[in-house]
Amino acid sequence: MNPISATWNFLSNTYHRLGSPREFYTISRYTTPVFGILFLTLSLIGTYFGLFVAPADYQQGDAFRILFVHVPVAWMSMFVYVVMATAGAIGLIWRIKMAFVVTICSAPIGAAFTALALLTGSIWGKPIWGTYWVWDARLTSELILLFLYFGVIAVYYAFEERKTAEKATALLSVVGVVIVPIIHYSVEWWSSLHQGATVFAEGGPKMPTEMLLPLAFMAVGFMFFYGYALFLSMQNRVLENEHKSRWVREMVISQGKQ
Amino acid sequence: MSNKGARVSNKGARASNKPINTLSLYFQREWQLMFRNTSSLIQPLVFFVIIALLFPFSLPAEGELLQRIGGGVIWVSAVLATMLSLESMFHSDYQDGTLEQMLIHPRSLSLAMLGKALAHWTATGLILTLFSPVLCVTFNIPNEQIWVLFAGLLLGTPSLSLIGAIGAALTVTLRRGGVLIAIVILPLYIPILIFGAGMLTQSAQGLEVASQLYALAAILALSITLAPFAIAGALRVTIN
């Protein structure tokens, strides 16, 4: 067997194993702590370099250092939405139980990232722009994103039957992902004060390496935090969803004996 | 012989299942239902006018201010009036079991829902649009801007009905779906509101409004093509 097809087989095997709640639970008990440790190490390194090593901004002084939290959480707020909607689409098309769990567990985490992005942004805005809030394009579309997350969460808890709730939530998150780019551009053309793209700007990042490096560490670290929080919350929900199945009961009994 | 007869009747069945027939059938059905219950035609319009008239009462009585915000007020009122009429969109069909029959019928459910949503628009959005010039006069909006607002509403309100129907379909089985519809649907309405109301601000400054009209038309094209599938999907999910 050639290496490519072997890798492919391994990947598809892992993917299908993750599709079963029981297998997911077993695998995630090993991976979740790893995600947690990676998050802590990367974000601690990022924080150290961001606060002590990176030079102060020539205009904003030390006030810019909130960037190392603000920018990663803002990225994550959008990334989580895409993950949530992709998982929702997978769940609706291939009827995979675990995909719905990813959608539902991602929503509160994404909402938290969005709220943090808004909060850190307004803390940063006060000294630099002189105001906590402006009806600016980025701020407004981030606020709408927060309300979209709220809508997704509200739909899940409105239904009594879990399977209906899961599918309705998945459908809404897929509809939302079609709308998000439209919202983004409509608000962009409407007004803007927020600075434009800096890291992914044309002709390379407009930022010195001493600032880019801690930002990259923080961004990857927060990605692992998402994985950590998502897997913890998914473990919980899997146990709750499968509480009638045999493996959960056996596991609970065997843990009780220890 | 019998085989041939079967084929003929099969053909007949196929002819009646033509897409346009499904569309017009459901459109006509909605219209008949609405004319037998005229209060559903009048309520959104009355609500629209009352909401718009609340603003002059709650703001300082300056003619110039009202003239400036009038367009935005009319847009917000149209959005709220459409949203309030959404809750009843599938409600009676769900109560008497018609919706389940639609779901199991071999006709295309998406097309049926397109017909239903368009009929909903003619009963809410279209009537509001036709009435909006009268409201514009009460806000002292100049004549050329009345036409801008009219064109914007005409292009924007069908999207409101189509996108709103997704929320209505998602919440049809819930006893108190009204608030949930608002939470789910209002964020999705924001682009339409921005382009629609932005058009008025632009034309007040003497600028071109074509780009906003194109944007509204693009949103309408997207919602006509995609929303029916989402509505049908939502109904299949929520009604077992």
ipTM of predicted assembly, 2 dp: 0.85
Question: Six-digit token pair at A257?
Answer: 């004996």
Q: Does B103 touch chain A (CB under 8 A)?
A: no
Contact residues, chain A to chain B, C-beta under 8 Å: 92, 144, 147-148, 150-151, 154-155, 158-159, 164, 167-168, 171-172, 174-176, 178-179, 182-183, 186-187, 190
Residue B32: strand pairing partners = none
| Domain-located, residue A2 | no
pLDDT tens digits, chain A, 258 residues: what are they?
Answer: 678 888 888 888 877 777 788 888 888 889 999 999 999 999 999 989 888 887 777 777 777 888 889 999 999 999 999 999 999 999 999 888 899 999 999 999 999 999 999 999 999 888 888 888 888 778 888 899 999 999 999 999 999 899 999 999 999 999 998 878 887 777 777 765 555 556 666 566 667 777 888 889 999 999 999 999 999 999 999 998 888 888 888 888 888 766
Q: What is the pLDDT of residue A203?
A: 60
- The confidence band for B115, taking pLDDT boundaries of 50, 70 and 90, is very high
| Domain-located, residue A9 | no
Residue whose C-alpha is closest to residue A107's, from A149, A166, A154: A149
What are B50-82's pLDDT values in tens digits?
Answer: 999 898 888 887 778 888 888 999 999 999 999
**pTM to 2 decimal places:** 0.87
Residue in the structure block whose two tokens are 């009961």:
A249
Residue whose C-alpha is closest to residue B134's, from B74, B77, B57, B58: B74
CB contact under 8 A, A179 and B166: no
Q: What is the pLDDT of residue A127?
A: 84
| Domain-located, residue A235 | yes
Domain residue ranges of chain B, discontinuous segments joined by +: 2-238
| Domain-located, residue A17 | no
Please state the domain count of chain A: 1
| Domain-located, residue A20 | no
Q: Does B158 touch chain A (CB under 8 A)?
A: no
**Cα distance between the two ends of chain A:** 44
- The confidence band for B225, taking pLDDT boundaries of 50, 70 and 90, is very high
CB A115 within 8 A of CB A142: no
- Give the closest of B177, B180, B187 to A148, CB-based: B187
Q: CA A6, CA B57: separation in Å to the nearest integer?
A: 73
Question: Six-digit token pair at B31?
Answer: 């219209």
| Domain-located, residue A247 | yes
Q: Does B177 touch chain A (CB under 8 A)?
A: yes
Q: CA B196, CA B148: separation in Å to the nearest integer?
A: 9
| Domain-located, residue A118 | yes
Which three-class secondary structure state does DSSP give residue A57?
strand
Q: What is the pLDDT of residue A258?
A: 62
What are B4-26's pLDDT values in tens digits?
Answer: 444 444 444 454 567 788 888 88
| Domain-located, residue A7 | no
Locate all alpha helices (DSSP H) within chain B, ordered by sequence: 2-16, 19-36, 39-58, 63-86, 91-95, 98-104, 109-123, 125-138, 143-170, 178-204, 210-238
In Å, what is the CA distance from B236 to each residue of A76, A153, B128, B184? Answer: 32, 20, 31, 18
Q: Which range among A88-102, A180-194, B124-138, B186-200 shows the weakest confidence by mean pLDDT?
A: A180-194
